[in-house]
Structure 1
Amino acid sequence: MARPLQVLGFGALAIDDIIYVDRALSAGKGKVTKRAMDHGGNVATALVAVARLGGRASFIGWLGDDPATDLAGAELERDGVDISLAPRHADAAPIRSVIMVGPDGDRFIAYDDDVLHGTSDGLPDEVLMRAPVLLIDGYATHSERVVARARVLGLAVIADIEWTVGPATDRILAFADHLVLPLAFAREYTGEGDPATILEKLWSGDRSAVVLTDGECGTYLRQKDDAIRWHLPAYKVQAVDTTGAGDCFHGAYALALAEGKSPLDCVAYATAAAAISVTARGGRMGLPDNRTCLAWMAAENAPVPLPIPAC
């Protein structure tokens, strides 16, 4: 069935105050070299990445009830993300974050997320059916019924989870058929250290893929109907700012999945996109276009997937 959109998403929508400093974050103190304001949020930035890559994305989470003062929603729209399907509420507001970035691109994020999360439980099925892929983050615990309906309707659900709030997070992880998780969280969640072991522990018969991202160390993957467990090394780049790199990865993965690519091909595309994104400051400034991603993937030094050795 032809659908007007490719990726739907609801989750974190943020306004970030970014402070760049001249020393490593572990140094204790340092000089401010630059200040900036940017729009961010896991799902919001991932959807912007979809749009930059040429895809059709829509944010379906809560937005403020007054479009004239809804700065975060307006910014999404300027970045090419559809917001016409999003429910609106007087209490809706973006998360406010302060991000400190060191000279090596490493960052620390302090955030105030005491806002309305998730989306309306009354979101119609016809809205969910407008795209084949739904992208969610840890705040989806506020809208479990919407995620469950999406799976029943046949959408691929990609979960970007970075923390747990207990049983509600367990249920969200169970709903998702594509777990695309930071390795650090997966280690904490499973109590295991080895990526291959974690892939097995997070697997279930309902999964299509489990993906573990580990920054400059690359990505680990198990995909359905494939006996091989894969490791895709990262590109060798000089990171300027890693803010939003994971979000870019999720957006690129979601778009490739919507286009019918296998999880391994989705990971390869997302790896290139995320590598490009860290070469510019801010969470969205470095988000790449499709042509640039394909050029990086075609380069002689592009990383290739390697089987993880069997235990």
Structure 2
Amino acid sequence: MQANVVIVGSLNMDLVTRAPRLPRAGETLAGQSFVTVPGGKGANQAVAAARLGAKVAMIGCVGNDAYGEQLRAALLAEGIDCQAVTAVAGESTGVALIVVDDSSQNAIVIVAGGNGHVAPAVVDRFDALLSQAQVVICQLEIPVETVGHVLKRSRELGKIVILNPAPAVGPLPDDWYPWIDYLIPNESEATALTGLPVDSVTTAQAAAATLMKAGVGKVIVTLGEQGALFATQASAQHFAAPKVQAVDTTAAGDTFVGGFAAALAEGKSEAEAIRFGQVAAALSVTRSGAQPSIPTVEDVQGYPS
């Protein structure tokens, strides 16, 4: 299989508990349930792109442990090319500790584990995968220098380059912006990147303008229930969100990114790809968990238009 979407990023085992609300500092709460679920922004986006129609390859690192074996098996079960998912001896697999409250909001702590070993040299061993791809996606759960390396190399190869800047703690390196075709932050990430408050379509437009001034090609700010703003140098368009009853918002952003990329790789227009990603993300929040919540192409096609 020749992948048309390649994800370079993180693989985590999500350790998920549900509680009535998120705990305050120093507080112990009684939880309602606990499950382990395959996750990590990179792996989530790989699963989303695969379920939503793309041929996908994943580049990343896990620990040499049971969680790592389970994560790799989960990707293989989705038909994802895992030749570049490397087990690191003596290291744990990345984990995400997630608390979900009764209003479906979540708080997450991440331990990088194997994800910290995704060095530029690791990516270079699988340059053929990048060369074959149409779309390359990165996030920020692997070392920053590796993300920059992948963005630059993908631009050199003439690929469609997507960066989901999550988790974002501040502005991106200045030299990254011209390498990015589509920058896809949520509200808090757009705020971290620009220093501007982002909580509406109007404020998202101001943040997107700042990011494009820095050199990025196009910006999609995802706004949860408020939909998404798609901004280019020439225009800005708001896409309303499908109306659903949220159960768990975990991996909604990852589902959008994977769906958007899969649709672009299939040749859909930007507007079609955004709407496709939005419906996929909306369906995902009606289900619990990260990868288990991600819908299929058939699910999205069956959604009332």
TM class, shorter-length = 0.7 to 0.9
Any idea what the Cα deviations from partners look like across 1:217-276, whole Å, max 9, x if unmatched?
Answer: 21111136xx33111121221111111111111110111111122322221111000000
2:34 counterpart of 1:25: no
* Cα gap change, 1:19 to 1:278, in 2 (>3 Å): same
2:224 counterpart of 1:215: yes
1:170: Cα distance to partner?
A: 4.0
1:176 aligns with 180
* Cα gap change, 1:26 to 1:124, in 2 (>3 Å): closer
**Secondary structure, counterpart of 2:152 in structure 1:** helix
Give, in whole Å, the separation in 2 of the partners of 1:164 and 1:68: 26
1:122 aligns with 124
1:104-123 alignment runs, 5 A limit:
104-115=103-114, 116-119=116-119, 120-123=122-125
1:1-311 alignment runs, 5 A limit:
4-21=2-19, 23-25=20-22, 30-64=29-63, 70-90=69-89, 93-115=92-114, 116-119=116-119, 120-138=122-140, 139=142, 141-143=144-146, 144-164=148-168, 169-193=173-197, 194-203=203-212, 207-223=216-232, 227-296=234-303, 298-299=304-305
1:80: Cα distance to partner?
A: 2.4
Task: Check whether the contact 2:10–2:61 (CA below 8 A) recurs between aligned residues.
Answer: no
RMSD: 2.6
TM-score norm. by structure 1 comes to 0.84
- Please, which runs of 5 or more residues in structure 2 have no aligned partner? 198-202
Task: Check whether the contact 1:117–1:142 (CA below 8 A) recurs between aligned residues.
Answer: no
Give, in whole Å, the separation in 1 of the partners of 2:118 and 2:63: 13
Give, in whole Å, the separation in 2 of the partners of 1:92 and 1:170: 32
- Please, which runs of 5 or more residues in structure 1 have no aligned partner? 300-311
Identity %: 29
* Cα gap change, 1:257 to 1:205, in 2 (>3 Å): farther
* Cα gap change, 1:85 to 1:95, in 2 (>3 Å): closer
* Cα gap change, 1:160 to 1:30, in 2 (>3 Å): same
Moved more, 27-36 or 162-171: 162-171
**Secondary structure, counterpart of 1:212 in structure 2:** strand
1:85: Cα distance to partner?
A: 3.4
Moved more, 185-194 or 80-89: 80-89
2:200 aligns with none
The structure where helix makes up a greater share of residues is: 2
